[in-house]
Amino acid sequence: MVSQAVVGVIMGSSSDWETMKNACDILDAMDIPYEKKVISAHRTPDLMFEYAASARERGLKVIIAGAGGAAHLPGMTAAKTTLPVIGVPVKSRALNGIDSLMSIVQMPAGIPVATVAIGDSGAKNAGLLAAQILSAFDENLKNRLEAYRESLADKAKGSELE
């Protein structure tokens, strides 16, 4: 049986997948059911509106939205839902993702997007943030997150320098 998705991972283009895969890898590792889709505020605006407007009633709890360049997807998604939206600035070819970051982070007061860092690490942290939000209501997930943190600490303590 496929579990009901609680996280929606959306991205402006299939070219964002290499970055956004990092968020999905974390969700897989944390055993969190999610769905992933290409949705664009620019190229498929009606689909974007419909997706965001129906997200809560379809059972989603958090949305992770990644986009590059003129990255309107996270903010426009946030405008159409009161679910938490985590924005991932995808590294753009022309401006290295600074454009994506500025587009996503500078939301007007009232419509927040929780913005992470540019690129792969940001996407990974978006997955972790989604997990941490859900863990406020899920003891087992909290335990998995604690085990993950312990593995990070063990790795750091085991670091060898030349």
Residues that bind ligand C2R (CB under 6 A): 11-13, 15-16, 40-43, 67-73, 90
Closest distance to ligand C2R from the beta carbon of 160 (Å): 38
In Å, what is the CA distance from 28 to each residue of 31, 124, 137?
5, 12, 18
Q: Which positions ≥6 away from 14 have C-beta within 8 Å?
A: 38
Closest distance to ligand C2R from the beta carbon of 19 (Å): 8
Q: With respect to ligand C2R, which residue has the nearer C-beta, 69 or 127?
A: 69
Closest distance to ligand C2R from the beta carbon of 93 (Å): 8
- Residue carrying the six token digits 């009633």: 57
- For the chain, how are helix, strand and coil distributed in percent, rounded to 5? 45, 15, 40
Q: With respect to ligand C2R, which residue has the nearer C-beta, 52 or 129?
A: 52
Closest distance to ligand C2R from the beta carbon of 49 (Å): 12
Q: With respect to ligand C2R, which residue has the nearer C-beta, 43 or 58?
A: 43
Sign of the dihedral through C-alpha 122, 62, 38, 70? negative
Q: How many residues in the chain? A: 162
CA–CA distance, 29 with 114 (Å, rounded to integer)? 22
Q: With respect to ligand C2R, which residue has the nearer C-beta, 7 or 16?
A: 16
Whether residue 13 is annotated as binding a ligand: the answer is: yes
Closest distance to ligand C2R from the beta carbon of 123 (Å): 12
Tokens at 86, concatenated: 């985590």
Whether residue 16 is annotated as binding a ligand: the answer is: yes
Q: With respect to ligand C2R, which residue has the nearer C-beta, 51 or 131?
A: 51
Beta carbons of 54 and 80 less than 8 angstroms apart = no
Annotated binding site for substrate: 13, 16, 43
